[in-house]
């Protein structure tokens, strides 16, 4: 199991602030020692986050791990108890007025009026966009509604929108003007598979246009599909961050064993000092420090019936499980 120190990414301690508007920056967002305490609850605990410019960074973590609180502090919506935030090379809150117009966000409770239509809600947001000339407001709203597939429902009241439509409207508000950074908190919440694909497509488009995206999710497959980088939070701490492909490589190769005796297989392998856990498909075995023949021999010695053994690339699910649970055996599926 990787330790926090071993995996927390590379990167220099400081980024020189660059004052020219729109000047390229190495990191679209950075935090140092970011901490938030609510009463007796430490929601975020000393997070040093690095979001490289141009990346799509997936913020992963179970419920309550501090994703939303971190995002709210990044956007200046919540004041940190301690620590610092830098967006597009400028410190927050000091330079919020310069930098926030270039940042689009979709976070919980975007503050839409229930009695106004989706379009009228967006017009209100658009009127507050410093980067949008007043003559372009209507076109920008129409474009944003079209882009998120809400053009047909634009004149319906917000309170009649489904959860998925509300998510789309939040995204439309984030995309009213071209942004350098877009932050999306659980953007696929409430969306059907087609809506989820649409969000992925939009994230891909944003990346293609050079926009940095931070997207939080507890859905590992979603992160793996769209992200170039990942940051894993658990109980307010950053357990790992970095380039997704490198982190997955560090996870090492794995075997998937198909067997009707999953519990017996895990027990036999753990007794041999081999890291194994039940998964929905069978038993996942880490090959670090062992080999496929040794694994099979251990199973046969223990009279475990083996139907199939195949090599697998370690997925994000394995990586995440190792980091957040820190144990070698877990149960995540039912049945044989
Ligand atoms: N306004 C608040 N007052 C008190 N406690 C809070 C507040 N906001 C968050 N917390 C607590 O801080 C911790 C982190 O919450 P946060 O919402 O940031 O996690 P999360 O990873 O986004 O979870 P979820 O996926 O459920 O939204 C939780 O224990 C939560 O109960």
| pLDDT tens over the chain, length 336 residues | 333 333 333 333 344 444 555 677 899 999 999 999 999 899 999 999 999 999 999 998 888 889 999 999 999 889 999 999 999 999 988 888 888 889 998 887 658 899 999 999 999 988 888 888 888 889 999 999 998 889 999 999 999 998 888 888 988 998 888 899 999 998 887 778 888 888 888 888 889 989 999 999 877 777 777 899 999 888 899 988 888 887 776 666 788 899 999 999 999 999 988 888 888 788 988 877 788 888 888 998 999 999 988 887 666 766 777 666 653 333 333 333
* Last-in-domain residue among 221, 248, 275: 248
Euclidean distance between CA atoms 77 and 70, whole angstroms: 10
Q: Are residues 294 and 145 in the same domain?
A: no
Give the residue carrying structure tokens 């927050």. Answer: 92
Residues 308, 168 share a domain? no
Cα 42 to ligand 1 centroid, rounded to whole Å:
9
Among 225, 248, 271, residue at a domain's last position: 248
Ligand 1 atom having least distance to the Cα of 185: 22
Pocket lining: 41 vs ligand 1, CB cutoff 6 Å: yes
Same domain, 13 and 113: yes
- How many Å lie between the centroid of ligand 1 and the Cα of residue 266? 34
Residue-range definition of the domain harbouring residue 266: 252-325
- 23 assigned to some structural domain: yes
Rounded distance from Cα 64 to ligand 1 centre (Å): 5
Domain membership flag for residue 114? yes
CA 170 to ligand 1 centroid distance, Å = 20
Residues 225, 261: one domain?
no
Question: What CATH number corresponds to the domain at position 301?
Answer: 3.30.70.100
Q: What is the CATH number of the domain that holds 143?
A: 3.40.50.300
Spell 224-249 as b/e; 16+ CB within 10 A means b. bebbbbbbbbbebbbbbbbbbeebbe
- Å from CA of 297 to ligand 1 middle: 46
17 lines ligand 1 (CB under 6 A): no
- Give the mutation target among 64, 73, 80, 220 for probing the ligand 1 site: most ligand atoms within 8 A of CB: 64
Going by C-alpha positions, the residue among 105, 54, 88 that lies closest to residue 211 is: 54
Cα gap 226→284, rounded to integer Å: 24
Domain boundary at 201, 233, 248, which?
248
* 66 Cα–ligand 1 center, Å: 6
**Encoding tokens for residue 256?**
């998937």
The whole-angstrom separation of Cα 181 and Cα 58 is 13
Between the CA of residue 206 and those of 5, 69, 131, 323, what are the distances in Å? 32, 24, 18, 29
**233 CA: nearest ligand 1 atom:** 21
Does ligand 1 come within 6 angstroms of the Cβ of 61? yes
Residue nearest atom 5 in ligand 1 by C-alpha distance = 38
Distance CA 72, CA 94 (A): 16
Ligand 1 mean position, distance from CA 107 (Å):
13
84, 204: one domain: yes
The reply to whether 166 and 226 lie within a common domain is: yes
Q: What is the pLDDT of residue 20?
A: 53
Q: Are residues 180 and 48 in the same domain?
A: yes
Q: Is residue 150 part of a domain?
A: yes
Number of domains in the chain: 2
Helix, strand, or coil here: 254? Answer: strand
Q: Are residues 257 and 244 in the same domain?
A: no
Taking CA atoms, 265 is separated from 29, 302, 308, 330, in Å, by: 45, 8, 13, 13
Using the mean position of ligand 1's atoms as its centre, give its distance from the Cα of residue 46 in Å.
15
Ligand 1 center to 44 CA (angstroms): 9
65 pocket-lining for ligand 1 (C-beta < 6 Å): yes
Indicate whether residue 12 lines ligand 1 (CB < 6 A): no
67 close to ligand 1 (CB < 6 Angstrom): yes
- Are 244 and 256 within one domain? no
Nearest atom of ligand 1 to the alpha carbon of 70:
18
């Amino acid at each position: 199991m990787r330790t926090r120190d071993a995996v927390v990414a590379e990167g220099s301690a400081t980024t020189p602030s660059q004052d020219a508007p729109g000047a390229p920056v190495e990191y679209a967002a950075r935090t140092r020692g970011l901490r938030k305490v609510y009463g007796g609850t430490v929601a975020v605990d000393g997070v040093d986050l690095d979001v490289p410019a141009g990346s799509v960074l997936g913020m992963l973590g179970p419920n309550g791990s501090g994703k939303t609180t971190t995002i709210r502090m990044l956007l200046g919506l919540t004041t940190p108890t301690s620590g610092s935030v830098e967006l597009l090379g400028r410190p927050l809150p000091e330079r919020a007025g310069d930098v926030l117009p270039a940042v689009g966000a979709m976070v919980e409770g975007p503050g839409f009026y229930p009695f106004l239509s989706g379009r009228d809600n967006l017009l209100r947001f658009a009127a507050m966009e410093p980067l949008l000339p007043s003559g372009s407001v209507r076109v920008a709203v129409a474009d944003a509604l079209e882009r998120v597939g809400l053009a047909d429902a634009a004149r319906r009241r917000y309170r009649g929108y489904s959860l998925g439509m509300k998510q789309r409207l939040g995204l439309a508000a984030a995309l009213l003007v071209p942004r350098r950074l877009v932050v999306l908190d659980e953007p696929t919440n409430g969306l059907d598979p087609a809506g989820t694909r649409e969000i992925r497509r939009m994230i891909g488009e944003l990346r293609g246009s050079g926009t940095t995206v931070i997207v939080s999710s507890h859905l590992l497959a979603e992160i793996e599909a769209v992200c170039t980088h990942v940051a894993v939070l658990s109980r307010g701490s950053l357990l790992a961050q970095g380039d997704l492909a490198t982190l997955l490589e560090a996870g090492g190769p794995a075997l998937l064993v198909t067997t009707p005796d999953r519990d017996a297989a895990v027990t036999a392998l753990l007794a041999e000092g081999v890291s194994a856990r039940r998964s929905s498909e069978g038993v996942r075995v880490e090959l670090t420090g062992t080999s496929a023949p040794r694994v099979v021999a251990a199973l046969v010695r223990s009279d475990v019936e083996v139907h199939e053994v195949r090599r697998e690339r370690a997925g994000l699910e394995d990586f995440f499980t190792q980091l957040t649970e820190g144990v070698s055996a877990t149960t995540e599926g039912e049945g044989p």
